[in-house]
Amino acid sequence: MSDIVLQTRGLTKHYGGVHALVDADFVLRRGEHVAIMGDNGAGKSTFVRQITGVERPTAGSIWFDGREVQFNGPLEAREAGIECVFQNLALCDDLDVPSNLFLGREKVLFNLGPFSILDRKGMRAATEAALQRTAVKIPNLANTIRNMSGGQRQCVAIARAATFASKLIIMDEPTAALGVQETAQVENIIRHLKAQGEPLILVSHNMRQVFDLVDRIVVFRRGRIVANLRKEETDGQDVVAYITGAKTQALEDAA
Amino acid sequence: MTETRTAYGIGGLTYDPRKRHLPQEVNVFIALVLIVAAFELLGRVLYGDSFLFNTRPNVDAVFNWARLNIIILQVSIVGIIALGVTQVIISGGIDLSSGSVVGATAIITMSFAQTALVNGNPNPKAVFGDLFLDMPVIVPLLVALACGLTAGLINGLLIAYTRIPPFIATLGMMVTARGVARWWFKGEPISFPTESYAAIGKGMMPVAIFLVLAVLFHLILRYTLYGKRCYAIGSNEEAARMSGINVERHKVLVYTIAGVLAAVAAVVLSSKNLTAQAGMGMMYELDAIAMTVIGGVSLAGGRGSIVGTVLGALIFGVIISGFTFLKLDAYYQEMVKGAIIVGAVVLDQWRQRRRQARG
Ligand SMILES: Nc1ncnc2c1ncn2[C@@H]1O[C@H](COP(=O)(O)OP(=O)(O)OP(=O)(O)O)[C@@H](O)[C@H]1O
Ligand SMILES: [Mg+2]
């Protein structure tokens, strides 16, 4: 059994004439935490959307958990065990915290197809437990997401991913809107996942955070993977040079 | 000192769980009370008559039940449609076809509800000649169900899978269904239903049917997966899709339910009136949307409730009946109705902007 969790080969995505992602070869090993860095518009989120089934790639293949996969929609990716905190969070503003946490996989009391009775108490209790685990502070669970701060929203999205993740978690700029304390909390969640051996892909612009948390850094530039750097063998300046294109690396495989 | 509890208040926020946000429906209810009070006051000042209370000396009652009954009877049929429209709007859509679906369903259903003998003579206007006379009531009911299902299903499939905006798709259905209603019996009315069919909309039956359906859909929207998904999709369709909700299938279901509810309204209306004609239900879609929006359902989707819509329907009925009470000319009533519809939408826009301002 190989220790590769996720692998992409020649993954490519075109939006009309825009080549947002070109020939991405990427590997993630069991228990590994990898950061994806790159300037705005470098194709990081595009890459995330291809491997989470939100979009269908133009070309290339994705291997997950030992077999080639073609996700028809995000549900299939989730069922396969990939959880994602999307950059836009994918929360419903008019719903409360438990409803957002269980969005798309609600607990039901009686199964009556689309008219299944919701287990509201069960979801509430599970939400409280999940939030306590992630040390997220939300004064009132019954409040709608609309009335929450950017950080609280982000915490709900992260708690959702952390609660349901089974094989792989992807976070697209999870601390972008967070304050100092909240960022530290999210980083603690990530360390916790590392200790548990959960593999993770972290998209981030925060150099300090990346060097604190991950084992490896993959740099995207103009839709291409331009560098694959072990943390011990690189430093901030080096990474910035790759991000800006001042330096290039001959890559056979981002592994 | 009141004790404040902080559930997860590490952030230094205190939160008193006993102090809750008042639901929107409370505002709608207050509006209802104020509007009734306004008519009461105007009536007393202008005509020395009461809107709400009984003033006839020969009747022993506190309230003017005759008027109150008329109000709820008046709104209950459009109210049934509004229950479906509520679900459509909460899930981020709109349905302009309900009035025409009422027309088409009423006339088609009525043609299967014909009695064989009218005052001992053969039914002079039987649509299919000697066929389909004196059918058991289940036959026209199934026909109505089929009509509502078909119209709703077509709406839903068009909107979900061809990505036509709901406004356009249901506008198409609005014109088409009205065409079907006219074509079915060449524009002539159909009367003479069987007794069992006529019983459906007799007396206060429309009100009973409306209330039962309102309770049913209130429970469905609040306590089932279907309800949760209506709010989720109306709130953020993209997020709902990313969470794995089958948005398309849900939309088909929502519009189908709306179509069936319009068909129920058609049955109740044609049975109550003992006749159906091609123009039946004209403009009901707008009345239903008005009731819904008055009741606090946001046209932007994601917000509102059946309770709100029922209150909205009552407000609608009170206003219409109030203007009759104030002896306002029928022409003015039309204009006022138009103003109510526009006003409700303006109010909704204002609410949305205020919500955005709060972030
Ligand atoms: N749906 C789309 N249609 C057309 N172009 C798109 C679409 N989504 C993304 N793009 C383009 O693809 C490129 C890569 O976008 P992407 O969102 O992946 O960037 P990113 O690396 O995540 O940037 P950021 O750091 O700002 O989040 C951009 O030029 C963007 O404009
Ligand atoms: Mg991005």
CB contact residues (below 8 A), chain B span 327-356, against chain A: 355
Pick from B206, B178, B316, B183: which is nearest to B264 by CA?
Answer: B206
Strands (E), A78-206: 82-85, 108-110, 117-118, 168-172, 200-203
The answer as to whether B233 is a domain residue is yes
Query: Tell me: the pLDDT tens digits for B80-127?
Result: 999 999 999 999 999 999 999 999 999 999 999 998 888 888 887 777
The total of structural domains in chain A comes to 1
The answer as to whether B1 is a domain residue is no
How many Cα neighbours within 13 Å face the side chain of A48? Answer: 28
Query: Tell me: the pLDDT tens digits for A93-145?
Result: 999 999 999 999 899 999 999 999 999 999 999 998 888 776 667 778 888 88
Instruction: Give me the CATH number covering residue B48.
Output: 1.10.3470
The answer as to whether B3 is a domain residue is no
Q: Residue B52's pLDDT band (boundaries 50, 70, 90)?
A: confident
Pick from A158, A99, A101: which is nearest to A134 by CA?
Answer: A158
List the domain range (segments joined by +) for residue A218. Answer: 4-92+167-254
**Res B9: pLDDT:** 39
Q: Is B235 on the interface with A (CB under 8 A)?
A: yes
Long-range contacts: A65-68, Cβ < 8 Å, 24+?
A: A65/A5, A65/A6, A65/A167, A66/A1, A66/A2, A66/A4
Interface test with B, best of A71, A82, A94, A121 (most B CBs within 10 A): A94
User: Which residues make beta-bridge pairs with A172?
Assistant: A203
Nearest Cα of chain B lies from the Cα of A43 at a distance, in angstroms, of 19
Secondary structure (3-state) at A94:
coil
Query: Tell me: the pLDDT tens digits for B282-338?
Result: 999 999 999 999 999 999 999 999 999 999 999 999 998 898 888 888 888 888 888
The answer as to whether B284 is a domain residue is yes
The answer as to whether A44 is a domain residue is yes
Which has more confidence, A79 or B129? A79
Secondary structure (3-state) at A150:
helix
Q: Can you tell me which atom of ligand 1 is nearest the CA of A16?
A: 4
**Res A119: pLDDT:** 95
Pick from A240, A216, A236, A237: which is nearest to A228 by CA?
Answer: A216
The total of structural domains in chain B comes to 1
The answer as to whether B17 is a domain residue is no
Q: What span, in angstroms and rounded, lies between the C-alpha atoms of B156 and B250?
A: 9
Query: Tell me: the pLDDT tens digits for B249-277?
Result: 999 999 999 999 999 999 999 999 999 99
The answer as to whether A133 is a domain residue is no
The answer as to whether A150 is a domain residue is no
**Res B16: pLDDT:** 58
Mean local confidence (pLDDT), B187-214: 94
Interface of A with B (CB under 8 A): 54, 73-75, 78-79, 86, 88-95, 99, 103-106, 108, 112, 114-118, 120, 128, 131-132, 135-143, 146-147, 181
The answer as to whether A247 is a domain residue is yes
Return the DSSP state at A139.
Answer: S
List the domain range (segments joined by +) for residue B79. Answer: 22-354
The answer as to whether A128 is a domain residue is no
pTM given for the model: 0.89
The answer as to whether B11 is a domain residue is no
The answer as to whether B54 is a domain residue is yes
Per the structure block, which two tokens stand in for A160?
Answer: 């959702």
